[in-house]
Amino acid sequence: MSERIDSRLFEPLTVDKEEINKIVRPNLTYWQDAWRRLKQNKVAIISLVILVLMIIIAVFGPMFSKYDYRTNDLAGGNQFPSAEHWFGTDELGRDLFVRNLYGTRISLAVGIGAAFLEFFIGVIYGGISGYYGGNVDNIMMRIVDVLFSVPTVLYVILLMVVFGSGLKNIFIALGISYWVGMARIVRGQMLALKQQEFVLAARALGASNRRIILRHLVPNSMGPIIVTATMAIPSAIFTEAFLSFIGLGVSAPMASLGVLCNDAIITYRTYFFQLLFPALTLCIMMLAFNLFGDGLRDALDPKMRK
């Protein structure tokens, strides 16, 4: 049973050939699109601003202070926060505000440095493994599996025991142990991408394997790679703080946030502020990196979103 519809109700649509082909929205590249999405994420942008501020203050702040991180002033030890010493002083009379700035600097350097090391080693290792496949992949991934079955913290502890404490050694230890997760991500990306036509086209044009990996495959999997690297920063900062806390961190008189926390543990019953400030800085930094990383993931790789 169908009702008849009056044909006068309809109005023919005029078709303008020019109009159809007009592109309404501006053409956005992948990165522009990601930036557009990221900008809409308030939490991520606030985190980014906090991080940038932290970096600026940590890098330039100490220049404007009359104190430094190493000069002792035994007479003025364990002072409570005041106008003179914003965060108070420690047992040896060192200004804790400046020590906190230096600590933030070291923690940031460790985090970002570890992320870079993870990036380079992981991308190369995972790229080779995923691209070549077969036995190469099998062997390389077996090694990764073995490394993966023991927690990173345990490794880093062992390596630090061998190398001895110190900033340089923390970088080496983190570099040796952090790339494993990245290698897995990159390998997965390579396996998915290498079947696609543009790789075949590149090969048909005579591109070398190295060129295909570095120029075609890696740029196309940059989204997940950057997200993984960003997430490595807070994790590395945490690991460094953890190491410092069990006495394997940077050597005195230098101090990272973890060292400051560890030093304060001894006196926390009377001078709680000595613990509070570095702990708070550490938490804010970790929170900002995590939230920014979450936002970055949502912006760069909507599929990964959960």
Residues that bind other proteins (CB under 8 A): 145-146, 149-151, 153-154, 157-159, 161-162, 234, 238, 241-242, 245-248, 261, 265, 268-269, 272, 275, 279, 282-283, 286-287, 290-291, 306
CA distance 107 to 285: 9
To the nearest whole angstrom, how small is the minimum distance from the Cβ of residue 138 to other proteins?
12
Q: DSSP 3-state assignment of 243?
A: helix
Q: DSSP 3-state assignment of 89?
A: strand
To the nearest whole angstrom, how small is the minimum distance from the Cβ of residue 183 to other proteins?
17
CA distance 131 to 154: 31
- In this structure, are residues 174 and 110 in contact, taking their beta carbons and an 8 Å threshold? yes
To the nearest whole angstrom, how small is the minimum distance from the Cβ of residue 292 to other proteins?
12
Could you tell me which residues are beta bridge partners of residue 95?
Answer: 89
Q: Select 84 or 145, whichever has its Cβ closest to other proteins.
A: 145
Q: Select 232 or 261, whichever has its Cβ closest to other proteins.
A: 261
CA distance 228 to 114: 12
Q: Which helix (H) or strand (E) holds 104?
A: helix 96-132
The runs of H, that is alpha helices, within 8-95 are: 17-21, 30-40, 42-60
For the chain, how many helices (H) and strands (E)?
13, 0
To the nearest whole angstrom, how small is the minimum distance from the Cβ of residue 150 to other proteins?
6
Residue 303 CB coordination number (10 Å): 8
Q: Select 168 or 215, whichever has its Cβ closest to other proteins.
A: 168
Q: Select 1 or 162, whichever has its Cβ closest to other proteins.
A: 162
Q: Select 53 or 280, whichever has its Cβ closest to other proteins.
A: 280
To the nearest whole angstrom, how small is the minimum distance from the Cβ of residue 259 to other proteins?
12
Q: Select 49 or 161, whichever has its Cβ closest to other proteins.
A: 161
To the nearest whole angstrom, how small is the minimum distance from the Cβ of residue 205 to other proteins?
35
